[in-house]
Amino acid sequence: MKYSVITFGCRVNQADSLGFEESLLARGATVAPPEDADVVIVNTCSVTSSADQGARQTIRRIARTNPTARIVVTGCYATRRPDEVAALPNVIRVVPNQEKDRLAGYLTTAERFGDGDGGCGAAIEPGVAGRTAFTLRVQTGCDERCSYCIIPSTRGLPRSLPLETIAAEIARVAAAGFKEIALTGVHLGSYGSDLTPRASLRDLLASVTAEAESLRSRPRDLLFRISSLEPMDCSPEIVQLVAEHDCFAPHFHLPLQHASDRLLRAMRRPYTIAQYSALVDDIRTRIPHAAIGSDIIVGFPGETEEDVVQLLAYLEASPLTHLHVFPYSDRPGTEATSMAGKVPGDLVRDRARRVREVSTRLSARFRANQTGRVFRALTIDDGSVAVTGNYLKLRIAPGHVRNQWVDVKVGEPTLTSTQLSSWVIG
């Protein structure tokens, strides 16, 4: 069986898709482009209406270019609107999030694919699914009811992997040759709240630190990148742990959503702009070269021009280094859908453009501040690009392979690319 996996959305979806690939490879399946695959898995997102639309367009395109393809759809859009997804061309099965772990088994049954393609397949290794780093899902589900978010209803309640399971998975992935592991979850900060005995994100990170030390064949060989954390879950203890241990990338992603306390309350976000500002300022003080990303929602119901001015002013002066900008769209089933004060679409798009312009300036400022500094970086793709712990993507001279640690000195950005040039030290 030839398969292809197409992934939309968050790192949790990326981790899920990597699991599909590993299971299918182990069963003897082979990867192929969507236009040549027997089976195409589409792992969908539903965080916005444009995410839903993107999934539908992709499925229709696959059906046009590969009329014999069997399309299996999973993820949040498939979970939220299964009948709508099932009606799309060539879709043979819709797998809700709750059944994702069994998806590969569904695809390799004799009933669906004749004699099947069983057997001992390829082992997981860097480069599978085009990814050098391994994305490890340690938690899924969320019971925080932000007023705009549909994800609690598509992912369910929080569910965490036990610490010993995570330790074993880290050992397995490291033995396969991966040198960077991204720890991810739908609500990563709630890690362990459902376990018996209870655990916490701090417990997880302490366990990861110990596991990294035990696995290192030489110093600084294994790097962990912490995925998106809600601001209220990023405690001073966690910041200090990252600051003190070089097994953690100096990289935080802390969704702000807005700088207006009035809108934060309407969004049911449990912090104020003053609390958020204090957090990211503290990170910048303790870890001067850390990357600090954020998510921003524009056009939330009731947002005024004064709110936007306040948001832009905060962002310009903040230590943030990059932004993901989400134009608000109604998600049926959420509280915000019924709120008054909907912002016209053209105004939402204009506000998104203005915030993205700020994001461009923040990224340029951060890149400029790193010029001349030396960082450890991991080569990706064909080895001509490397990514630092603080999330700079650097072009390097030829002669390296994928998944190799190099020490690089950051050079000036070129006129034709947003990437920084660099050169390898030693």
Q: Residues near 84 by Cβ (< 8 Å), separated by ≥ 6?
A: none
- Integer Cα distance of 181 and 292 in angstroms: 18
Instruction: Look up residue 233 and give its DSSP letter.
Output: G
327: which strand partners? 298
Quick one: CA dihedral 239, 12, 393, 212, positive or negative?
positive
Residues 232-242 pLDDT 10s: 999 999 999 99
Q: From 3.40.50.300, 3.30.750.210, 2.60.120.260, 3.40.1710.10, which CATH number describes the 130-249 domain?
A: 3.30.750.210
- Integer Cα distance of 10 and 6 in angstroms: 13
Mean pLDDT for the stretch of residues 201-219: 82
Mean pLDDT for the stretch of residues 239-268: 97
Q: Is the pLDDT of residue 361 over 60?
A: yes
Residues 82-121 pLDDT 10s: 999 999 999 999 999 999 988 888 876 633 443 344 444 4
**Which tokens in the block code for residue 385?**
């690009």
Range with the lowest mean pLDDT among 28-32, 103-107, 150-154, 419-423? 419-423
Confidence at residue 242, expressed as pLDDT on a 0 to 100 scale: 96
Share of the chain above pLDDT 70, in %: 91
Mean pLDDT for the stretch of residues 4-26: 90
Q: Is this prediction's pTM over 0.85? A: yes
Confidence at residue 423, expressed as pLDDT on a 0 to 100 scale: 58
Residues 320-343 pLDDT 10s: 999 999 999 999 889 999 999 999
Most confident of 145-154, 173-182, 317-326: 317-326
List C-alpha distances in Å: 356 to 290, 327, 361, 386, 392. 21, 11, 9, 25, 18
Residues 388-412 pLDDT 10s: 999 999 999 888 999 999 999 998 7
Residues 380-389 pLDDT 10s: 988 999 999 9
Q: Are strands 159-160 and 180-185 parallel, antiparallel or unpaired?
A: unpaired
Q: Residues near 126 by Cβ (< 8 Å), separated by ≥ 6?
A: 132, 134, 176, 177, 178, 179, 402, 403
- Integer Cα distance of 181 and 173 in angstroms: 8
393: which strand partners? 387
Host H or E run for residue 213: helix 201-215
In angstroms and rounded to an integer, the radius of gyration of the C-alpha atoms of the chain is: 22
Q: From 3.40.50.12160, 3.30.70.1290, 3.40.1390.20, 2.70.160.11, which CATH number describes the 2-113 domain?
A: 3.40.50.12160
Host H or E run for residue 175: helix 163-175
**Is residue 55 within 8 Å of residue 77, measured between CB atoms?**
yes
Confidence at residue 48, expressed as pLDDT on a 0 to 100 scale: 86
Confidence at residue 218, expressed as pLDDT on a 0 to 100 scale: 52
Confidence at residue 114, expressed as pLDDT on a 0 to 100 scale: 36
Q: Are strands 420-424 and 405-413 parallel, antiparallel or unpaired?
A: antiparallel
Confidence at residue 131, expressed as pLDDT on a 0 to 100 scale: 82
Confidence at residue 117, expressed as pLDDT on a 0 to 100 scale: 43
Confidence at residue 166, expressed as pLDDT on a 0 to 100 scale: 96
Residues 282-314 pLDDT 10s: 999 999 999 999 999 999 999 999 999 999 999
Question: 203: exposed, middle or buried (C-beta count within 10 Å: 0-12, 13-18, 19+)?
Answer: middle
Does residue 221 or residue 305 have the better pLDDT?
305
For residue 279, what pLDDT band results from cuts at 50, 70 and 90?
very high
Question: 175: exposed, middle or buried (C-beta count within 10 Å: 0-12, 13-18, 19+)?
Answer: exposed
Q: Is the pLDDT of residue 268 over 70?
A: yes
**Is residue 83 within 8 Å of residue 75, measured between CB atoms?**
no
List C-alpha distances in Å: 142 to 160, 336, 358. 11, 18, 30
Helices (H), 27-114: 49-65, 76-80, 82-86, 103-107, 110-113
